Chain A
Amino acid sequence: AQSVTQLDSHVSVSEGTPVLLRCNYSSSYSPSLFWYVQHPNKGLQLLLKYTSAATLVKGINGFEAEFKKSETSFHLTKPSAHMSDAAEYFCVVSATGNQFYFGTGTSLTVIP
């Protein structure tokens, strides 16, 4: 069975400070893990993905995530938040390649 838990439904940071969005997963197989971002009234955009290569994955817009098997985590980080980062973020797991399981989302607010 596969599932994803996003530990925070809302995260608020000040512009220029680090961002940490937390995601834990459960998978019976070696999973592929993804982070997507959704800006208001838009579809989901792929930020980054992990597929059993390097455990530290770099994505677009300065985001990165680290796969930690021992902790079953795939937290998303960014060193310095920008106003344009304000959006909804989804952590996604897939083990079979054709079924994707979504977390409930984390809403990121960036305070100027």
Chain B
Amino acid sequence: KAGVTQTPRYLIKTRGQQVTLSCSPISGHRSVSWYQQTPGQGLQFLFEYFSETQRNKGNFPGRFSGRQFSNSRSEMNVSTLELGDSALYLCASSARSSSGNTIYFGEGSWLTVV
């Protein structure tokens, strides 16, 4: 079974631009969540989608948004990029099982804002 796939893996954007990151979950997983990882702040939860609906949201400004499609693929968008948005963005998917939910991560998308 293929793992969580994130694209693009690396990208460089200019301050003020916007960026869209894509995530394909493990087949059969309906929950997709996004995290931002930086050296200073560690891992921070952005939001979680389940069946095309945002179910949970972290404490990030409205510039950060996401969506999920009917095939469970998800995208996140960051508008009006700031230098501080430079980070590793991780996507994770999960599915309910008899032993509880477990999240599985993709390799991440490295965003550099210059």
Contact = CB atoms under 8 A, between A and B. Distances in A.
Interface of A: 32, 34, 36, 41-46, 49, 51, 53, 90, 94, 97-100, 102, 104-105
Contacts of B94: 98
Nearest to A94: B101
A49 B94 CA distance: 14
B105 A45 contact: yes
Contacts of A94: 100-101
A36 B105 CA distance: 10
Interface string B1-19: 0001000000000000000
Interface of B: 4, 31, 33, 42-43, 45, 48, 50, 55-56, 90, 92, 94, 96, 99-108, 110
B107 A51 contact: no
13 contacts: A34-B103, A43-B4, A43-B90, A45-B105, A51-B99, A53-B99, A90-B43, A97-B100, A98-B48, A98-B50, A100-B45, A102-B42, A104-B42
Contact of B103 (A41, A51, A100, A104): A100
Contacts of B48: 98-99
Contact of B102 (A49, A53, A105): A49
A98 B99 contact: no
Given A42-B107, A44-B90, A34 B42 contact: no
A44 B43 CA distance: 11
Contact of A51 (B92, B100, B104, B106): B100
Contacts of B92: 44
A49 B99 CA distance: 10
Contacts of B31: 98
A97 to B, nearest CB: 4
Contacts of A104: 42
Contacts of A99: 48, 56
Nearest to B56: A99
